[in-house]
Structure formats: structure tokens, C-alpha cells
Amino acid sequence: MNNSQILELLHSEVKPALGCTEPIALSLAVARACSLFPDRKPLSVRAFVSANIFKNGMGVGIPGTGMVGLDIAVALAVVAGKWERGLEVLKDSTPDDVARAKALLESGIIHVGLSDTTKKLYIIVTADFEGGHRAEVIIEDDHDRFTSVCKDGVQLLLPAKEAEEDTEAPSLLNSADYDLDIRAIHNFAVTAPLEDISFILEAAELNKALAREGLTHKYGLQVGRTLSINDHDHLTYFGQSLISRCMALTAAASDARMAGSMLPAMSNSGSGNQGITVTMPVVAAAEHVLATTEQLTRALILAHLTAIHIKHYLGKLSALCGCVIASTGAACGIVYLHGGDYEQITFAIKNMVANITGMVCDGAKEGCALKVASGVSSAVQSAVLALDGICVSEKDGIIDLDIEKTIRNLGVIGSRGMQTADDMILEIMRCK
């Protein structure tokens, strides 16, 4: 992949998202369906989603509503969704809109169920309107990739933006043109023209704002706030080290996002939490070493690309918690900021794979902040060991001498090896 393709990959996989991206993807599909008949009252809205969408939407906060779940995500999209905003589809919703959405839920016209698809990411929405009109929208494979938009049974010629970005050209991440490795990622991160990659600083701005929100207010489990409180007892437990700062900032952003904050995150590979986790430890480390803006930029590019690359072998949604992938990318960024070279970056990845592979995803929820904090803690540990030239041996477990084989081993475990666990987790969640 040349530089322009790598930039294309970055722009397609790193984008703002308001709220957890699984229910937001459903909101996006609903808003698109309702946009086909803007002047007609919906009589019913039915949505069927893949198991992983269902799992990640059951217990997560929907921005601005004070509620969790897919039903309110559908209702708010009917009332106030703007599909043109993509993964920020609910950005313009107001308290009055939320009240109307809750009333719509009580009317009984909304139904969300589980599809029998084998796809990891699949949403189909069918909406009936006054006058006998019907809209049907399908999103699959990527959170904002429309593959079908039908109005009264007629497949529409999609607008240029929709067709080019979402339907006809899936992300390079899943295309035959994907040809990337850690060596190429490192070379790109350290040599790409600064003006081409400075856009990544928006990830720092958006996710820092979420972190400040989580540190200031009592969102969710308050993991970030608890780690950052500077009273005597907490200082005894956590201190004021880099590892504590990385954990606090990252967990605070996750606290706010998963509890329904109206601030967007900069996502990575379709996940806001993954975007937060790959960004905030790098930001904290940059502040710690007094890094220049260029150093921060290149560290963030390295971190985000590494996470995207690992995600390539897992798919958009899996039984493996996304913080495993994201915190591995963050570890690479931390190594770079401390003057580490390519070999030490590969050491950090191997240390991470040896450490937290197997952390399961049991749905998006407030408790994700705990897993985020654990992943970040491991990232700092792995980076420090790597900087000291310490790396888990290829004789250990799933680690291979070759860094790309190590990453593929992680991908096989997360995508195929943990499928039974994924099914079991969903069954447990549905039967509670």
C-alpha cells in the first residue's frame, strides 16, 4: 500500500462518532429510512440486527436520553435523526426530542429483534408510513455502509457520497488491496509529510474533551474520576505516575461515552471506545515527556494504524474486547514517544498479545471503562518492558518470532477460536 492508500485507510477508519457505534449504526439506518418519507407519520418501525449488534446495544447509554438499549436508539432516530451526519446521526437531538422519543416508545410501534444472519455486522430496518408507504434500509459489514435503500419496493440510485463511500467501495481494511504490516506502518508514521497526517490531532481533541467530561461529572462507574482523585488514600493506592494518568484519562472518557454523554468520540475501526483507548494513553504519555506536536502526531498515527492493522484480522465485531487491540496500538505510540525503534515497537506488541489476549466482550456498557483501564495498564507495562529490550519469547504460547504471524495468531483466536464463547455470552445476556 502506498502513502495515499494508507491515508485513505486512516480516513475511512478514524472518524467522529456520537454514542456507542452499534446502536448508532441502527439509528443511522432508521434515520435513512425515515428520510424517504419525511412528511408522513411512521406507523411501525421494525429492525432486525446481527447478534453482535444486539449484544453491544443492550446495555449501553444512548446519548442525551438517560436510557440504555436499542429501542430508544430507534425512537430517537425516528424523531430527530439526520442520516447525513453519519455516525453523529443523533448530534442535533434536544431534550424535547428525547421526550417525544420516549412517548413514541410507549406507543408500541417500535420493534427490535435478532436477525438469523451469520454476519457480524448486519442491520435491516423496515418502516411503514401513512398512505401505505414502506421504506427498507440495510447496513452491513461497516457501521455506516448502506447496501440497500428501498422506497416502496424500488431500489434507489444512491446519492454520490453514499454510493462512493458506503456501498460501492468498502473500506480498504476488508478489500483485496489491503497489504500492510508493522514495518510499513512504522515507516509511514515516521516519514509521512506532517501536513498529510496532522488531521489525527482531532482524535486527541475530541477524546480529551470526553476525558474531561468524565473526570468532571459522575458518569457510569466513575472509574476515571476514582483513579484521578488526589486525596491521601487514593494517592496511596494509585500515585501520580504515568500509568495512573493514562488509565484515568482513558477510563474517564469511556465512563462518559458509555453512560450517554452528548460529546462525540473519535472512533477507530468503527469503535468509539477503541478510538479512545488508542488515543488517550498516547496523549498522556506525550504530556509526560513534553513531546512536540509533531511527535504526538506521529505517535498517534502509529498507534491508530497499528490498531487498524490488528483489527483487519479480527473483523469489525468479535468476542475479543476491542480494548485489547486499541491498547496494543497505544503501547506502540508510548514506545515511540520515549525514543523506541521499530524492534522495540514489535516487542511491545508481543508483550501485549502475551498478556491480555482472551479478554472477552460481553456487550457495550458502563463497565467497559474497567476493561479499558486494564488494557491501558497493560499497555504501559508492555511499553516499559519493550524499551528495556524485554520481549516475550516465541517459545511462549501464541507468540511467534515473526510479528505478523503473532498478530495473525491473535486474529484467529479472536475471530474463530472464541466464536463459541461469543454465542454463549449472548445467550447468557438474553436470558438474564
> What pLDDT shows up at residue 176?
65
- Quick one: CA dihedral 369, 324, 60, 253, positive or negative? positive
Give 292's contacts (C-beta < 8 A, 6+ positions apart). none
Q: What is the pLDDT along the chain (432 residues), one digit of tens a residue?
A: 899 999 999 999 999 999 899 999 999 999 999 999 999 999 999 999 999 899 888 889 999 999 999 999 999 999 999 999 999 999 999 999 999 999 999 999 999 999 999 898 999 999 999 999 999 999 998 899 999 999 999 998 554 444 444 443 456 666 667 889 999 999 999 999 999 999 999 999 999 999 999 999 999 999 999 998 766 566 667 778 999 999 999 999 999 999 999 999 999 998 999 999 999 999 999 999 999 999 999 999 999 999 999 999 987 777 889 999 999 999 999 999 999 999 999 999 999 999 999 899 988 899 999 999 999 999 999 999 999 999 999 999 999 999 999 999 999 999 888 888 888 888 898 887
Question: Which is nearest to 219 in space by CA: 260, 250, 248?
Answer: 260
**What pLDDT score does 157 carry?**
58
Question: How far is residue 20's CA from residue 214's CA, in Å, rounded to a whole number?
Answer: 16
Rounded Cα distance between 380 and 102, Å, is: 43
| pTM of the entire predicted model | 0.90
154-155 and 110-114 as β-strands: parallel, antiparallel, unpaired?
Answer: unpaired
Q: How many other C-beta atoms lie within 10 A of the C-beta of residue 248?
A: 26
Pairing of strands 42-49, 110-114: parallel
Per DSSP, the residues of 255-310 read: HHHHTT-SS-EE-BTTBHHHHHHHHHHHHHHHHHTT--HHHHHHHHHHHHHHHHHH
DSSP 3-state of 416: helix
Residue in the structure block whose three cell numbers are 457505534:
21
- Could you give phi then psi for residue 411, rounded to 5 degrees? -65, -40
pLDDT, position 270: 87
Nearest to 89, CA basis, from 101, 78, 77: 77
Task: Please say whether the beta carbons of 342 and 186 come within 8 A.
Answer: yes
CA angle, residues 55, 57, 63, in degrees to nearest 5: 160
Backbone angles phi, psi at 19, to 5 degrees: 90, 170
Give the three-class secondary structure for 389.
coil
CA distance 276 to 204: 9
Question: Rounded to an integer, what distance in angstroms lies between the CA atom of residue 33 and that of residue 75?
Answer: 13
pLDDT computed for residue 168 by the predictor: 39
Handedness of CA 85, 87, 91, 94 (dihedral sign): positive
Q: What is the largest CA-CA distance in the chain?
A: 70
Q: Nearest-5° angle of CA 136, CA 139, CA 143? A: 145
Burial class (CB in 10 A: 0-12, 13-18, 19+), 3: middle
Residue with cell 439509528: 27
C-alpha cell at 387: 524499551
d(CA 111, CA 96): 22
Please give the C-alpha separations between residue 199 and each of 95, 205, 294, 301, in angstroms, as whole numbers. Answer: 32, 11, 12, 10
Question: How far is residue 279's CA from residue 300's CA, in Å, rounded to a whole number?
Answer: 7
